Amino acid sequence: MSTSEAITRLTLDPDNARNTTITWEDSTVAYTVQTEMSNQGTTMRICKAGGSPVAIIQFRARGSPFNLVSVALGDQEPIAIGKWLSTSMVPFRNHASFKDDSGRKYKWKGTGPGESLQLFAEDDDYKECIARFYYSSKSWKTDPPTTIPATLTLLPRAEEIHDLVVASFLYLERERRVKEAATNIRAEVNVIAGMQASMCINTTC
In tens, the pLDDT along 66-85 reads: 658 999 999 999 999 999 99
Question: With pLDDT > 70 as the criterion, what percentage of the chain qualifies?
Answer: 82
pLDDT digits (tens, 9 = 90+) for 43-71: 999 999 999 999 999 998 766 656 589 99
Q: Find the mean pLDDT for residues 123-148.
A: 93
Which helix (H) or strand (E) segment is 163 a member of? helix 162-202
Residue 92: pLDDT above 70? no
Sign of CA dihedral 138, 142, 143, 147: negative
pLDDT digits (tens, 9 = 90+) for 157-205: 999 999 999 999 999 999 999 989 876 665 555 555 555 556 566 665 5
Q: Find the mean pLDDT for residues 138-161.
A: 93
CB-based contact 138:148 (threshold 8 Å): yes
Q: Which of 166, 176, 200, 194 is nearest to 46 (CA)?
A: 166
More confident residue, 167 or 4: 167
